[in-house]
A and B are shown apart, each in its own frame.
Chain A
Amino acid sequence: MSRLEILRRSLLYLLPAISIAILAFSVYLLLASVGYMERGFVGTSLLSALIGFALLSASLYVMRLAAYVYASEKRSES
């Protein structure tokens, strides 16, 4: 397997990796939002929840792209 091929293969995993990283960060923000709400910081909590949900959407969007790239790659292998 040539070096270029290895690079190409590793690039396939780039999108899922980005997506999962964003997902982890959004889950952290959502949990932090609940924590803020417990302590009575309402504005902070709502802001953090909003950022968390926006990041969740972004992560799903990247994952959708990754899914389609994966599916379109299937043909070239078989």
Chain B
Amino acid sequence: MFSRLIILAAFYKEIMLFFNTFPSLLSRGLVSPYLFLTNVSYVILLTISILALVAIAIGNIYAFAIAVIISAFTCYKPCLPLTQIIFFLLYLAIDTVTNSYRGLEHVSIRTRFRDIAKSLPIPLIPIVSSTVVAVLVIFMIISIVNRFTDIPRSNPQLYTVTASPITKIVVSLAGVIYAYNIVRKVAEIVAVFVMPSPRVALQELSKEKDIDLIFIPAFRWLLYLAFAAILYTPVYTIVFDILLIDLLKELSDLMKSIVSAITYVSLVILCRSLDIFSDIHLGVKRFAVTSTALLILVYVAAVKLALPYHGWGAVLAPDIQKLGEVVQKNYIDFGTTVITFISTFFKLLGVAP
């Protein structure tokens, strides 16, 4: 009962607004709901209040959590919805106490006030420290990106590269992903230092796979992007230009580009899962299966190319020569644009002569 009151206290404003507007919304007929639904902020408010009502009605903790998260994202003031977050933490504490102590048939729980006061800031320490480190990393990357605008003064050729938003987006995206990894690692380290647990530590230290990392380069996914670009042309040529050519003729240009994008992304995921650039986690079985599948694809495509000339004798005499020519032609078509782009990019950066 008390926990329901907490939810009500957290979201009383939204629920009040909901009950104030809902009757008028019904009375005005079916046109006004449509007008209201086009207003994004009203839809969000409706969602939050419905979630809060659900949480009050059936005591579902997930509904409450989702409502708090949505309200955190849509706060009007440039701040977090502190009251709702504090009420949510209170609710979580009460929920934990009721769940874990009811099963053990405790009538009452005796805690010292000092212990409670001590236990409150402990969960905040890892969060705060990891956030500080991540903010520092982001600040670092932002300061590098901001220097991009100074470059044209000393190196005018670079203007198109550094002024384009794509460069900034890619660099910022890499920074955000890196900062996320940093947050995770720092939070783990600080949590282990603050509350050392020998059992967990021994478990973690005995995991050979986690301890025996040799070297994982940072920003490895950029390497996978490049590697997938190399693999992309032969696979795309074999699958869509030779094997499935009749299917692809029917599709429009937009669909073709979507298909090629999907091929590229799935190749990136494939390279990522094979983990080619780290020595220790090499998935031997998956690697064998993938390379066999690629060889079979090459064989089938070569057979299909030789079929009109040799009939079924093509099974024994696949036309790998012609396949190679087709792939080479496509490499030149697709590759020239990419390679020109990359080489000019590096020439402009001053990496390559």
Chain A positions within 8 Å of B, measured between CB atoms, are 30, 33-34, 37-46, 49-50, 53-54, 56-57, 60-61, 63-65, 67-75
Contact = CB atoms under 8 A, between A and B. Distances in A.
Contacts, number: 93
B202 A72 contact: yes
Q: Which of A53, A56, A57 has the most CB of B within 10 A?
A: A53
Given A42-B158, A67-B192, 10 more contacts: A40-B153, A42-B350, A44-B350, A50-B219, A57-B181, A63-B189, A64-B189, A68-B201, A68-B204, A69-B205
A40 B158 CA distance: 10
Interface residues of B, number: 40
Interface of B: 137, 140, 143-144, 147-148, 150-151, 153-155, 158, 162, 178, 181-182, 185-186, 188-189, 192-193, 196-198, 200-202, 204-205, 211, 213, 216-219, 346, 349-351
A33 B186 CA distance: 23
A42 to B, nearest CB: 5
B349 A46 contact: yes
A41 B147 contact: no
23 contacts: A40-B150, A40-B154, A40-B155, A42-B158, A42-B350, A43-B349, A44-B350, A45-B144, A50-B218, A53-B218, A56-B182, A56-B218, A57-B218, A60-B185, A67-B192, A68-B204, A71-B193, A71-B196, A71-B197, A72-B201, A72-B205, A73-B198, A74-B198
Contacts of A61: 185, 213
A67 B218 contact: no
B185 A42 contact: no
Nearest to B222: A50
Q: Which of B201, B211, B219 has the most CB of A within 10 A?
A: B201
Contacts of B143: 34
A37 B151 contact: yes
A54 B202 CA distance: 27
Q: What DSSP secondary structure best describes chain A's contact surface?
A: helix
Q: Which of B189, B193, B217, B346 has the most CB of A within 10 A?
A: B189
Given A38-B150, A40-B154, A49-B144, A70 B196 contact: yes
A6 to B, nearest CB: 22
A31 to B, nearest CB: 9
A69 to B, nearest CB: 7
A6 B52 CA distance: 59
A75 B186 CA distance: 23
Contact of B198 (A39, A44, A54, A71): A71
B128 to A, nearest CB: 17
Nearest to A40: B154
Contacts of B181: 57
Contacts of A57: 181, 185, 216, 218
A39 to B, nearest CB: 7
Given A46-B349, A68-B201, A30 B213 contact: no
> Which 3 residue pairs spanning A and B have beta carbons closest together?
A40-B154, A71-B196, A75-B198
B147 A37 contact: yes
Contacts of A46: 349
Nearest to B148: A37
Q: Which of B147, B181, B200, B346 has the most CB of A within 10 A?
A: B147
A72 B198 contact: yes
A74 B153 CA distance: 57
Given A34-B140, A68-B205, A69-B205, A41 B218 contact: no
B81 to A, nearest CB: 32
B348 to A, nearest CB: 8
Contacts of A67: 188-189, 192-193, 196
A27 B198 CA distance: 32
B219 A53 contact: yes
Contact of B189 (A33, A41, A60, A73): A60
A64 B218 contact: no
A68 B192 contact: yes
A42 B349 contact: yes
